[in-house]
Structure 1
Amino acid sequence: MTNSKPAKTGNSASPQTNRAQKNRPQNNRAQTNNRAQNSRTQKSNTAASGSSLMPLLLVLIFLAGLIGAAQQHMLPYGIAGMYLTLSLLTFIAYAIDKSAAKRGKWRTKESTLHLLALMGGWPGALFAQNVLRHKSVKASFRNVFWLTVVANLAVLGYGIKTGAVDMFI
């Protein structure tokens, strides 16, 4: 007669064993994944909360200023129309890129998005970054984006000052 106990399996553990397992720390990989996910969520929330109404107000003031300047014959309507059209196209490009990113499909090149912003679509890009929360966290992209905004406004200002925008009448 042997006094051997049957081997315990994971399914037949006693209540004491289950309590002990519940008190054990989780798997390190699971903790790391949870931390990474929380970090991404915090970044996303920070981007959302950090994206105040200021950029959207900037877009609205700029576009309203363009339309007002055109109505006062200080600027051709074509310039205001160009900015509105390019802004809409740029917003659509951001929306398509965001959709592609979510589905893991072919993406729009960052240089294409920057070119659209440089040509005058920056109000639509800024609106898309805040509303769609796309391309709003990556610092290198944002830095180049703001350079395109400054360059575009400098060209617009130069065109107004020299009268070069009058050729669009």
Structure 2
Amino acid sequence: MRIYNISYILLGFLLLWNLLVYLIYYLDKQKAQKGLWRVSEQTLLLMSLCGGGLGALISAQQFRHKTRKWYFKLVWLVGILVDGAILYMIWRLR
């Protein structure tokens, strides 16, 4: 497999992962408003930390979800740094 194919696969995975994290935050907000069972904070934080920081931050800002908790803001920042590191790695592979 050529290097540029791996780069596209990694980039696609990163985009899909951030989209999934965005949707999970949205669904959790919807469940919170309806008083239903929620996604655990630990799961939200872990997904954000593992490369979903940008999706989490955009979703949180758009839906005003978990924006008052300092540790979520910290994890979003670290998650965005992870996103940046992955993008840098993809760029270096080319």
TM-score range relative to shorter protein = 0.7 to 0.9
Would you say 1:108 and 2:47 are equivalent positions?
no
Point out which structure has higher relative CO (alpha carbons under 8 A, 6+ apart): 2
Tell me the equivalent position of 1:77.
Answer: 8
Is the CA contact (8 Å cut-off) linking 1:82 and 1:120 kept in structure 2?
Answer: no
Counterpart CA distance in 2 for 1:92 and 1:123 is 12
Percent identical pairs in the alignment equals 33
Question: What amino acid is aligned across from residue 81 of structure 1 in structure 2?
Answer: G
Tell me the equivalent position of 2:80.
Answer: 149
Would you say 1:118 and 2:49 are equivalent positions?
yes
Let me know the Cα RMSD of the aligned residues: 2.6
Give CA-to-partner distance per residue, 1:86-116, whole Å, 9 cap, x none. 1111111001110111111111112211222
From the CA coordinates, give the structure whose radius of gyration is larger: 1
2:63 to 129, 132, 135: 132
**How has the CA–CA distance of structure 1 residues 139 and 110 changed in structure 2, closer, same or farther, with 3 Å as cutoff?**
same
* Structure 2: gaps spanning 5 or more residues: none
Give CA-to-partner distance per residue, 1:56-80, whole Å, 9 cap, x none. xxxxxxxxxxxxxxxxx5x711121
Counterpart CA distance in 1 for 2:87 and 2:31 is 36
Q: Which 4+ residue blocks in structure 1 deviate beyond 4 angstroms?
A: 160-163
Counterpart CA distance in 2 for 1:80 and 1:161 is 10
Deviation at residue 143 of structure 1 after TM alignment = 1.9
Give SS of 1:118's match.
helix
Question: What amino acid is aligned across from residue 86 of structure 1 in structure 2?
Answer: W
TM-score (norm 2): 0.74
Counterpart CA distance in 1 for 2:23 and 2:87 is 26
- The size of the alignment, in residue pairs, is 90
Give SS of 2:66's match.
coil
* Structure 1: gaps spanning 5 or more residues: 1-72
